[in-house]
Amino acid sequence: MSFEVYDYRKDIRNVLVTPQIRARFIRIETGSISGGNQPGLGHSHDLGHEIFLVLQGKAEFEIEGEKQVVEPGQMCIALVDQPHTVRNIGDEPVILYLSVTPHIQPTHTGWIDTETKAPPHFSQSTSYDVPKDQDTTIEDLVTNQQQAADALMKAVQSAHRVQQEKLPLLANGDQASALEARDTIWQTLYPMFQQMHQLADTWNALTYRTADPDFLEG
């Protein structure tokens, strides 16, 4: 087979974890709540929207203080910075598909009260079913992050130069030159966005390590 097929009845885990997206199936037992334990004080995501699709059971979602019941075949969305929880209010386990885009640490943000975010909380990779990296040194992780940041700076500078030159052509009244300019701009934006994802990847790897209880001990 050229790609893997996942089954919500048995693959209750994170099935894809990349800077672009984290996707998983999650099971919530009867009467249990996920995402927090206080009404209105769940967690949110600083950079990402979260999509929920109910596959089994009856779930009560609270998103930014509003509650709605969501049943199989229905979905809802928590946008950036919207605190949310989900509670099983039925008589069977709730199974959800969820995805967060992008997945950049610290991906979960708690709330002290309805107006105040809790301090950043970084997690180990195993929290997302990503094996713990036992081999890469902290020095190499730091170097990787610096190199990714340097490469992104160069990509941004290149894209900026091209846009300064080409953007005026999109408004000069000549369709052919405008479309050519658009395509040229994209040729520099594309690698820039790719490098942004690379920076997020090295950042996640570095901060997974800093969340290890043994980080820099001794």
- For 89-108, how does the pLDDT look when each residue is reduced to its tens digit (9 = 90+)? 999 999 999 999 999 999 99
What pLDDT sits at residue 196? 98
Decide if 53 is inside a domain.
Answer: yes
Domain that holds residue 164: 138-210
Q: Indicate whether 109 and 167 sit together in one domain.
A: no
Average pLDDT, the chain: 95
Whole-number Å distance between alpha carbons of 150 and 126: 28
Residue written as tokens 């996707």? 23
Give how many domains the chain has, as a whole number. Answer: 2
- Band (216; pLDDT cuts 50, 70, 90): confident
- For 180-215, how does the pLDDT look when each residue is reduced to its tens digit (9 = 90+)? 999 999 999 999 999 999 999 999 999 999 999 989
Mean pLDDT calculated for residue range 78-88: 96
Q: Which residues of 135-168 are buried (b: 16+ CB within 10 A; e: fewer)?
A: eeeeeebeebbeebeebbeebeeebeebbeebee
Q: Indicate whether 111 and 53 sit together in one domain.
A: yes
- Please determine, for residue 37, whether its predicted confidence score (pLDDT) is greater than 80: no
Q: Indicate whether 109 and 155 sit together in one domain.
A: no
Q: Indicate whether 115 and 147 sit together in one domain.
A: no
What pLDDT sits at residue 153? 99
